Every structure is written in C-alpha cells, then in structure tokens.
Amino acid sequence: MTRSEPRAPDTPDLAEAVFVALETLDRVAPAARRAGRSEDPGSARPPRAGFDDLYRFANDPDMALSGDLARALASSPGLRADLRLLVERAARGGILVAAAASSGTITTRHGTSFRMTLRESRADRSQVYVLIQINGKAALSPRALFVIDDASACRKVSLPTPLNGTVQLLLDADSDIVAALRDPATEVFVQ
C-alpha cells in the first residue's frame, strides 16, 4: 500500500499532543482503576508504605517500624535519606555528637539538650546501661531514641520516663543497637 503524508487539521500538533497524552494516560493510569480492584478487597495488594508512614515513624515516638516501611527503607537509599532528614527535623536537641574513645568505639555522645553515656553493668557484664541525661536548662522529656546508619537504615527505641533528669536503658552488650551506638559512624538522635 502506498503511504501519503497524513493530512491533519491545521493544528496537527495539538491533535498529536492530545492523542499522545490520552495513550499515556491509559498506560500510567492507576492499576486500581484499570482492574477495578478497589471493589474487591480480596484481590487488593498489601498496603505499601507512603510518606505519611515515614513522617509518622519519625515524629510519633510510639509508632513502631512496620514491615512495609522496613522493606521500603531497605530497598531505597533515597527513602533512608528522607527518613534521616525527617528524624533530624523532629529531634530535640539535634544530633548527639560522638566523642571517640581510645579503643575506636565510643561511650559518650553530646547534644545541645542531652548527653548519652554507655556504661557496662557491674552486676552483669553482658549488659550495658544507656544513660541519657537531660541538660539542666532543657525542659524536655525525651521519648524516643533514633539510631541511624546507612547500611541498616534506622532503629528506634521508645524511652522510659526520666528519673531525676536521666533516662536509663538496659541493653544486651552484644546487641546490634549497642554496637551501633558505639560506632562513631552511626548517627544518634533523641526525640
């Protein structure tokens, strides 16, 4: 068949642009609409983590890390960077800066409102006390501890009520979180 040049209206660019947009809309239209999935809860995909989840995880001390969010964080360096920024914004007293010990690990971190110390338990050497002292001038009650290293994303520990200006946690000396707290490369925030 011979092909001649298309004879379109005088505004062929518009016709082509509308056609391209309509075809693209069909291609990227939400799957929920394409398949009518919203009407059949049984066939719905499991919920995915959104930025709302990330925001609430960073700002709500009582919100635990959900499986969806953990998977999303594990697979996305960008999301981990976003979480770090959100945690930094939500943190009271900013980042706790490490003071390096001679062994290459650290036992103390300082912030503008808090001071954190790791101390071996005298009663049980397999355990470590994490003491978070509230700066005298800061009328703040810390509620959560965020421990962030890029490789394993973010750990969050809910904190008990302070006693005499100090929050005290007792952790296994061999636990990942203690190792992370001792690691100078880890960033620690108190919320």
Partner 1 sequence: MATGIGTLERLAQAEMGGELAELLDSLAEATVRGAPKYAPRLHRTLVRAIVCRAYSGLIYELVHLMAAAHGVNRARGYEQMFWDQGPATAARFRAAFERALAHAPDAANVAATGNGIQAVYGDGSFAVAFSRMPLLAAMLDFLVSALGYREVDEAVRSAVKPPASQAALKRAANRITRALYAFLKPRLPAAQAQRKYRALMSFLSDRAGDAPVGKDAIDDDAVFEFWRDHGTDAQGDWKTYRTAVKAFLHLRDALGAAADREAMAGALPLDPARDGEAEASDLVLAACAAVDRRAEAIDCLRAPPAAAVKFLTKREAEGIALILGAGPHARALRLSVLRAAIFGAMQASISQTLRQGKQGVAAVNDACARGGDSYETHFAALAGLRDHLERVLAAAYHVLAQARDGQAISILLALDPGLDLRPLAANLAGPQPAGLNVVAIGAEAAARELFAHAADGAPDCPDLERFASRAAAAHRGLSRKGFGANEAGDPEIIAGFSAGAPALLQIRDCLGRFIAAIEALMPLARDRERRMLADRILFLNQFRILYGGTP
Reduced to 3 states (helix: H, G, I; strand: E, B; else coil), residue 125 is coil
Q: Is 62 in the site for partner 1 (CB under 8 A)?
A: no
C-alpha span between 108 and 99 (Å, rounded): 6
Which residues between 33 and 52 bind partner 1 (CB under 8 A)?
33, 36, 38-40, 44-45, 47-48, 50-52
Q: Is 64 in the site for partner 1 (CB under 8 A)?
A: no
Which residues between 70 and 89 bind partner 1 (CB under 8 A)?
78, 81-82, 85-86, 89
Encoded tokens for 134: 């509230």
- Number of continuous H segments (helices) and E segments (strands) in the chain: 6, 8
Q: Is 27 in the site for partner 1 (CB under 8 A)?
A: yes
C-alpha span between 188 and 87 (Å, rounded): 10
Nearer to partner 1, 10 or 151 (CB): 10
Which residues between 105 and 144 bind partner 1 (CB under 8 A)?
none
Q: Identify which range of 14-22, 107-115, 116-124, 153-161 contacts partner 1 by CB under 8 A.
A: 14-22
Instruction: Give the shortest CB-188-to-partner 1 separation in angstroms.
Output: 20
Q: Is 100 in the site for partner 1 (CB under 8 A)?
A: no
C-alpha span between 130 and 166 (Å, rounded): 10
- Taking CA atoms, 56 is separated from 2, 53, 64, 90, 177, in Å, by 63, 5, 9, 10, 22
Nearer to partner 1, 72 or 118 (CB): 72
- Paired with 133 in beta bridges are 115, 166
Instruction: Give the shortest CB-93-to-partner 1 separation in angstroms.
Output: 14
C-alpha span between 126 and 57 (Å, rounded): 30
Q: Which residues bind to partner 1, rule: CB under 8 A?
A: 1-33, 36, 38-40, 44-45, 47-48, 50-52, 55-56, 59, 78, 81-82, 85-86, 89
